Amino acid sequence: MPIKPHQHRRMAESFGVDPGRYDRTRAPYPGAVVERVLAASPGPDVLDVGCGTGIVARQLRAAGRRVLGVEPDPRMAGFARSTGVEVEVATFEAWDPAGRTFDAVVSGTAWHWIDPVAGAAKAARVLRPGGVLAPFGHVYQLPPTVARALAEAYRRVAPDSPVGFDPRPGGSILDAYQGLYVKAADGIRTAGGFGEPELWRHDWERAYTRDELLDLLPTSGGLTSLPPDKVAEVMAAVGEAVGGDLTLRYATWGVTAVRAAPPPRA
What are the structural domains, with CATH classification, of the chain?
5-142+165-206+250-258 (3.40.50.150)
- At 195 the pLDDT is 97
Answer yes or no: is pLDDT of 39 > 50: yes
- The pLDDT tens digits of the residues spanning 43-61 come to 999 999 999 999 999 999 9
Question: Which pLDDT score is estimated for 10?
Answer: 52
What CA–CA distance (Å, rounded) separates 151 from 147?
Answer: 6
Which residues pair with residue 204 across a beta bridge?
250
Q: Residue 17: its pLDDT value, please?
A: 73
Helix axes 116-126, 178-191, angle to 10 degrees: 60
In one-letter notation, the amino acid at residue 132 is V
Does residue 89 carry a pLDDT above 90?
yes
Buried b (16+ CB within 10 A) or exposed e, 22-53: bbebbbebbeebbebbbebbeeebbbbbbbbb
Mean pLDDT across the chain: 90
Asked if the model's pLDDT at residue 3 lies above 50, the reply is no
Q: State the Cα–Cα distance between residues 153 and 230, nearest whole angstrom.
A: 9
